[in-house]
C-alpha cells in the first residue's frame, strides 16, 4: 500500500520560510522512474504544480516560483522536503505531495492547509 503524508506548520507569518516534509511508504525513491511532486491549491481554486524531484535527483521547479523553492530528498528516510521562502498571504493553500511515475502523479497525500497571516 502506497501512502504519502505532508507535515509542517499550518500557520506561517509573511516573509517567513515554509518547510514541508512529505513522508511516504510503499515505494522507493531509489527506483528508476520514480519521483515525488509538490502541488498546491488555494481555497476554492485550481491546482498548481510546484516542483518535481526524481529518483536520480533531477529537479524541476515552477519557473514563476523557482527563486523561492528548494526541493530535496532523503531516500533512506523516505522523505522529500519542500522549502518555500518569503511566504505571502497569497501562498495560503493546501499543499500536496504525490508520487510520480515518470511525470504521472498517481498517488497523493491528503494535503496540509498552510495559512500565511500575521
Residue ranges that bind another protein, judged by CB under 8 A: 37, 46-49, 52, 60-64, 96, 98, 102-111
In the complex, least distance from residue 76 CB atom to another protein, rounded to whole angstroms: 26
| 3-class SS of residue 75 | helix
Distance CA 61, CA 67 (A): 9
In the complex, least distance from residue 13 CB atom to another protein, rounded to whole angstroms: 26
For another protein, the closer of residues 10 and 76 by Cβ is 10
For another protein, the closer of residues 16 and 107 by Cβ is 107
For another protein, the closer of residues 45 and 76 by Cβ is 45
Q: Which residues contact 4 (CB under 8 A, 6 or more apart)?
A: 22, 23, 24, 36, 97, 98, 99, 107, 108, 109
Amino acid at each position: 500500500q502506497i501512502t504519502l503524508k505532508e507535515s509542517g506548520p499550518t500557520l506561517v507569518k509573511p516573509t517567513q520560510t515554509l518547510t514541508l516534509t512529505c513522508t511516504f511508504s510503499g515505494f522507493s525513491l531509489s527506483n528508476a522512474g520514480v519521483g515525488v511532486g509538490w502541488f498546491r491549491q488555494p481555497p476554492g481554486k485550481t491546482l498548481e504544480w510546484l516542483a518535481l524531484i526524481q529518483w536520480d535527483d533531477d529537479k524541476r521547479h515552477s519557473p514563476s516560483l523557482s527563486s523561492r523553492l528548494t526541493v530535496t530528498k532523503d531516500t533512506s528516510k523516505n522523505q522529500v522536503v519542500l522549502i518555500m521562502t518569503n511566504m505571502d498571504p497569497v501562498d495560503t493553500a493546501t499543499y500536496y505531495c504525490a508520487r510520480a511515475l515518470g511525470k504521472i502523479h498517481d498517488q497523493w497525500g491528503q494535503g496540509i492547509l498552510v495559512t500565511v497571516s500575521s
